[in-house]
């Protein structure tokens, strides 16, 4: 802020100097032109006066015509000075001897004394030396130029005031939204990364800045939540296969069994271990990347294939869960179902949402619909379960939060936040609509790999 004020002062100073120089240039140019023009007019009258004086009061026909049609200037006077070789005045006619030192005795001179302007020239006739001149008041200088000077001074003062007023207005109009934005940013910390700048308050570049900052907050929030909940997520996701492996091993060792039984047990352990390996890779990848779009870990994948893989995973975990998939909305062009993403992470997100739909429904059934919009793939996951109370909906993405009506149902409150983080990682959106006793609908939109 201090640097901004300093730059603003520099800008105002430069503008004021420019205006002063501009006004000074105008005044100098006009006054200089007025002087030169007036001296030319005096030179003409001086030459006519010289003809008159040197010809004993008469002028030739042309100069006589000029004298008749050239009006006299204000307070116009002609004068003649005769002087000797030493420069001493012999006689003078209509001349103020105090001005003798200002006159060029060998050529032409133009000068000003008080409000009177003078034009003189050296002449020599019959061996005698003369200075003949004319003087007059410059009405433009004494009246118009003074008016112009006052007008320019007033304009200069008004111009400086205008610059100051505009600068103060610009400062307030520019700084006010910036200060507002700074206050909003200062209120955002690690404990409330969900807060966002109100983009409606800002216009132009500030609105773009607010949007960019909000996008950065979204990335930070997702990355922060991902890292914060990694241990809990790992415990939640890895507990089932680990329990299965340990249980199968204990069961196999509890008594002597046949070779075939051991082989079946080992196959089950391998299957659970493979499932554990996939979960571990997914969680480690999520923890490593956070919400940073790392294109090197993404590749074109079919979303319908990911949904089918998620169904198989869920049924393998709990064979009581039922999944009804509706593919009637699928596009004719299968390329429209391709997205750029990580298949393991997407399967993890969808598995969490689908298993929740089954878990919180009395009929243990999840309904899935898949389709394509313009440059987007949408997925609807619906259940007819207990639903989420309206007062709890705003907290469903908070880690460890569970709705008030979920008592008696196992869960950790991290499946939905994890799924949303993964969807955001793929630049998609996740929305939840729910009514108590009627069920919950999850809407997911993901950008397609190719633009159509």
Q: Please check the confidence at residue 132 and state whether its pLDDT lies above 50.
A: yes
Query: Tokens at residue 178, please?
Result: 């910036």
Instruction: Assess contact for 376 and 446: CB atoms under 8 A.
Output: yes
Query: Residue 252: what pLDDT?
Result: 80
CA-wise closest residue to 4 among 147, 203, 179: 179
**Confidence class of residue 157 from pLDDT cuts 50, 70 and 90?**
confident
Query: Residue 443: what pLDDT?
Result: 94
pLDDT digits (tens, 9 = 90+) for 80-113: 888 888 888 888 888 888 888 888 888 898 888 8
Q: Please check the confidence at residue 296 and state whether its pLDDT lies above 60.
A: no
Query: Tokens at residue 241, please?
Result: 């296969």
**442 or 141, which is more confident:** 442
Query: Residue 377: what pLDDT?
Result: 92
Query: Residue 284: what pLDDT?
Result: 64
**Confidence class of residue 380 from pLDDT cuts 50, 70 and 90?**
very high
Name the phi and psi angles at 125, rounded to 5.
-150, 130
Q: Which residue has the tokens 């878990």?
A: 359
pLDDT digits (tens, 9 = 90+) for 38-60: 888 888 888 888 888 887 654 44
Q: What is the side-by-side order of every strand in the sheet holding 77-83?
A: 89-93, 77-83, 128-137, 116-125, 108-113
Query: Residue 59: what pLDDT?
Result: 42
CA-wise closest residue to 230 among 188, 175, 290, 183: 290
Q: Please check the confidence at residue 63 and state whether its pLDDT lies above 50.
A: no
Query: Residue 404: what pLDDT?
Result: 79
**Confidence class of residue 279 from pLDDT cuts 50, 70 and 90?**
low
pLDDT digits (tens, 9 = 90+) for 339-366: 988 888 888 889 889 988 998 888 899 9
Query: Residue 315: what pLDDT?
Result: 85
pLDDT digits (tens, 9 = 90+) for 310-322: 888 888 888 889 9
Percent of the chain with pLDDT over 90: 9
Q: Please check the confidence at residue 282 and state whether its pLDDT lies above 70.
A: no
Query: Residue 24: what pLDDT?
Result: 84
CA-wise closest residue to 116 among 141, 150, 81: 141
**277 or 174, which is more confident:** 277
pLDDT digits (tens, 9 = 90+) for 14-39: 888 888 888 888 888 887 777 788 88
Determine the average pLDDT of the residues in 240-250.
80
**129 or 237, which is more confident:** 129
What 8-state DSSP symbol labels residue 73?
A: P
Query: Residue 92: what pLDDT?
Result: 83
At residue 370's C-alpha, the angle toward residues 365 and 376, to 5°, is 145
Percent of the chain with pLDDT over 70: 83
**Confidence class of residue 158 from pLDDT cuts 50, 70 and 90?**
confident
Q: How far apart are CA 96 and CA 290, in angstroms?
A: 98
Q: Please check the confidence at residue 396 and state whether its pLDDT lies above 90.
A: no
Element (H, E) at 326: strand 322-326
**295 or 433, which is more confident:** 433
Per the rule left: phi > 0, alpha: psi between -120 and 50, beta: everything else, 364 is: left
Query: Tokens at residue 378, please?
Result: 């949408």
**Confidence class of residue 232 from pLDDT cuts 50, 70 and 90?**
low
Determine the average pLDDT of the residues in 265-289.
71
Q: How far apart are CA 303 and CA 279, in angstroms?
A: 19
Q: Please check the confidence at residue 442 and state whether its pLDDT lies above 90.
A: yes
249, HSE (Cβ side, Cα atoms, 13 Å) = 11
Query: Residue 228: what pLDDT?
Result: 64
């Amino acid at each position: 802020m201090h640097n901004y004020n300093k730059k603003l002062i520099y800008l105002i100073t430069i503008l004021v100097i420019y205006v002063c120089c501009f006004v000074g240039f105008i005044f100098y140019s006009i006054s200089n032109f007025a002087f030169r023009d007036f001296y030319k007019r005096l030179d003409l009258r001086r030459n006519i006066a010289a003809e008159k004086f040197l010809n004993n009061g008469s002028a030739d026909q042309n100069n006589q015509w000029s004298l008749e049609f050239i009006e006299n200037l204000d307070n116009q006077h002609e004068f003649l000075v005769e002087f000797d070789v030493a420069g001493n005045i012999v006689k003078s006619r209509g001349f103020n001897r105090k001005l003798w030192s200002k006159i060029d005795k060998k050529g032409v001179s133009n000068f000003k004394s008080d409000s009177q302007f003078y034009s003189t020239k050296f002449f020599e006739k019959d061996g005698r030396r003369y200075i003949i001149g004319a003087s007059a008041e410059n009405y433009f200088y004494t009246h118009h130029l003074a008016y112009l000077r006052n007008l320019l001074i007033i304009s200069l003062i008004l111009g400086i005031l205008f610059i100051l007023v505009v600068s103060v207005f610009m400062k307030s109009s520019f700084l006010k939204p910036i200060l507002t934005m700074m206050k909003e940013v200062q209120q955002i910390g690690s404990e409330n990364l969900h807060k966002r700048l109100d983009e409606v308050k800002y216009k132009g570049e500030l609105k773009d800045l607010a949007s960019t900052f909000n996008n950065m907050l979204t990335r930070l929030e997702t990355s922060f939540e991902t890292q914060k909940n990694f241990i809990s997520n790992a415990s939640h996701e890895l507990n089932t296969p680990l329990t299965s492996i340990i249980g199968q091993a204990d069961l196999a060792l509890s008594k002597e069994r046949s070779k075939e039984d051991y082989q079946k047990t080992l196959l089950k352990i391998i299957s659970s271990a493979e499932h554990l390996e996939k979960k571990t890779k997914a969680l480690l990848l999520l923890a490593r990347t956070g919400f940073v779009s790392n294109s090197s870990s993404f590749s074109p994948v079919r979303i319908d294939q990911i949904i089918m893989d998620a169904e198989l995973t869920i049924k393998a975990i709990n064979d009581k869960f039922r999944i009804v998939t509706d593919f009637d909305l699928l596009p004719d062009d299968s390329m429209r179902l391709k997205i750029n993403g990580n298949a393991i992470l997407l399967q993890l997100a969808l598995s969490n949402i689908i298993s929740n739909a089954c878990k919180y429904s009395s009929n243990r059934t999840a309904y899935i619909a898949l389709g394509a919009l313009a440059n987007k793939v949408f997925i609807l996951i619906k259940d007819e379960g207990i639903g989420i109370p309206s007062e709890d909906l705003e907290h469903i993405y908070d880690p460890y939060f569970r709705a008030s009506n979920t008592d008696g149902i196992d869960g950790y409150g991290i499946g939905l936040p994890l799924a949303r983080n993964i969807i955001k990682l793929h630049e998609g959106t996740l929305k939840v609509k729910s009514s108590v006793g009627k069920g919950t609908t999850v809407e997911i939109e993901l950008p397609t790999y190719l633009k159509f």
